[in-house]
A and B are shown apart, each in its own frame.
Chain A
Amino acid sequence: MNFAIKVLTSIRFALATIGVIILVSVVGTLYPGGDIVFGSPLFLALVGILAISTALCSLTRIVPLWRDVRRPPVEVSDHFIQTLPYAVHLSGVTLTQVRDSLKGYMIRETRTGKTTFLLAQKGRIGRFGPHIAHFGVLILLLGVAIGAAYGNANPYNNKIAVIQEGGSQQVDGFTLRLDDFNVSYYNNGAVRDYTATVTVLDGNLIQTQNVTVNGPLTYKGLTFYLYGYGVTQSGNAWVAFQIKSTSGLPFVWVGAAVALVGIMLSLYVPHKRIWIKEADQSTQLGAISNKSSARFFREIEGVRTKLESHAHSVDHTTRSEEI
């Protein structure tokens, strides 16, 4: 059991599963009709394992991450600061001056005896990006599962409704009437669009709408798509509508949007942290970021240079006054 959890929470295992899914998918595109693999138990099992692994990866990591991000240590040792990727001794610059030059940082400050500690943080949400993305993918997969379970169970799903102009058809407790069907053309004779004007009759409700190739009609969890048309021997137009259940769709779209937000957060919001320790005569500064360190370090370097050169010029003026 412990072993199983250890495997399922490992990133390597999740990536290996993705690798297998890639291989199976490649095979599925190589020969006509190969897309049958995507409905096979093997493929569903792989996606299931990946979903479980994704969920467990996030679940086991989010608590320690939360703790680290919410309550990071403020009072740190000299050694801790010195081993950060960016570490300097500040000369002639006080902790307060640095604090006042840091814009947009969340700052925590504590004092023990004569030593003052400061921790400045920015972009904490970025650390949660991967987990937000994982959560979004899981919502999406839930939507797919709901669609597969309830959508396919709906007796109207994937059925074709053929209605003549002026005629109507009963669908799931309401009636769909075809009022009009038009084909519009470009000047050169090519088809511009097909437009079917339909009316939904449901008790007292009467709702008329145009259905076009890219503009289906959705009513009570069913969507009607233009599927085909023709003319009867008596010269009457008929239109075929494909009916699809919308079960699970909201989950799919919300999940995709959440995943996208998570991806952007994890790629574009670096988590920046700066520790400062001010003791008697020495002020130390250390910084770390989980991304784009170079730019971040340049930013701090800029602040530091500005403050230090200012400090030195102040030194000069004091000295000249003494003379």
Chain B
Amino acid sequence: MDAVALEHLGFEIALGTYLISSVLFILYFSIKKRRLVEMGFTLALFGFAFQTLALASRWLYAGYPPWVSTYEVMSFFAWAVMGAYVILNVKSDYKSAGVLIAPLAFVLLGFASMQPTNPAPLIPALQSVWIFIHVPIIILAYCAFVIAFVASVLYLFKDKQLSEARMTEGFNRQRDVASKDTPPSRTPESTGILANFSLEQLDELAYKSVAVGFPLLTIGIITGAIWAESAWGSYWSWDPIETWALITWFVFLIYLHAKTQNWSASLAAYIAAFGFISAICTFLGVGYVLPFLQTYISVSTGLHGYAGGGAISGTVLFCGILVAVLLLLLATRKRPPNATRAPPAQTDAESGPTP
């Protein structure tokens, strides 16, 4: 079997297994069988192994790393997200995060499968050492934001579940007090896939992911600016990709400041979730816009031609849906009057203790 066939086989198998894995994870919501999660995770691992094979063989026969064309970037992103998910599960059990990771990887691979797959020789503008540094760094940053997003969404769901449980508890206690029967007090526990980790753990996981992703995004933006400066004579030109990368950077900047300000952990979780949406906007912008780079071959058409429109409608649609889902989550959030806020994982010692 030659490398091209091996790549396609690996790709197809990964696409299929990510889909089945997603279905298993989503099924878990109606049939609460722990086995489904285990099976979903095993399948995801299987798909990840095959995708690794596919990417490695592509690297071999194309002669450059698999993160240049839209097809490559999309599938590399899917691979890296899966990789982050696997690493996350080495030391602790976050298998149930697959309910968000597996569909994301599947959608990314699905997008990739709709792109032309033939490896094209590197056009002059892309022949820079920066393409080997800038692109993977940015993708790793986005992987970290994916994990931060997953941790934040799980946090919000768990928070909701706990406050609902607390409300029921409070109601029961009132009723029991009325009947002059003092029940043993117990703290409500969350059930299902959310029982595996505490709010503090999720909050800390989100923070740690951002602490990894934020410097990576910073490096990614700087290397991108250096590259743009050497290729186009302008380190910054406010094209949609640059602008969205900066917006993402700003959102996580707010997140990190929020963490030092003892804002509520659930507010921080919302900020992290919005940051990920912004990252996806940037990424989709790149995905749609990169083909425009090809026009750069006719040098005289202008150097920023690649940043044309066209990217907008798809990106806006996708982000609109994501924002709507988040807002829905926000709207359905209920807080009992006696709800206590989870303590933030980070303590700020900016002012320091006084003796």
Binding site for B on A (CB under 8 A): 11-12, 14-15, 18-19, 21-22, 25-26, 28-32, 35, 38, 61, 64-65, 68, 72-73, 75-77, 80, 83-85, 127, 130, 186, 188, 190-194, 212-216, 223, 225-230, 240, 242, 244, 249, 252-253, 256-257, 259-260, 263-264, 267-268, 271, 288-291, 293
Contacts and interface: CB of A to CB of B under 8 A. Distances in A.
Contact of B121 (A14, A25, A186, A226): A186
Interface stretch (B79-87, B160-168, B234-242): B234-242
Contacts of A31: 312
Contact of A18 (B123, B254, B309, B347): B254
Interface residues of B, number: 57
A21 B348 CA distance: 27
B353 A84 contact: yes
Contacts of A130: 260
Interface stretch (B36-44, B178-186, B215-223): B215-223
B346 A291 contact: yes
Given A228-B300, A271-B349, A213 B233 contact: no
B128 interface: yes
Interface of B: 120-121, 123-125, 127-128, 211, 214-215, 218-219, 222, 225-227, 229-235, 238-240, 243-244, 246-247, 250-251, 253-254, 256-258, 260-261, 297, 299-300, 303, 308-309, 312, 316, 346-355
A264 B215 contact: yes
A68 to B, nearest CB: 4
Nearest to A76: B355
A85 B233 contact: no
Contact of A290 (B125, B215, B349): B349
Nearest to B299: A228
A18 B253 contact: yes
Contacts of A15: 254, 257-258
A244 B355 contact: no
A44 to B, nearest CB: 13
B197 to A, nearest CB: 15
B355 A73 contact: yes
Contacts of A293: 347
Given A83-B353, A227-B299, A227-B300, 12 more contacts: A22-B250, A35-B243, A61-B350, A192-B121, A192-B124, A192-B127, A213-B124, A214-B227, A229-B300, A252-B225, A259-B218, A263-B215
A260 B299 contact: no
A21 B238 CA distance: 13
Contacts of B123: 190-191
Contact of B225 (A35, A38, A229, A256): A256
Contacts of A223: 233
Given A38-B238, A260-B222, A25 B246 contact: yes
B250 A214 contact: no
A188 B63 CA distance: 15
Contacts of B244: 29
Nearest to A267: B211
B218 A288 contact: no
Given A186-B121, A240-B300, A260-B218, A19 B353 contact: no
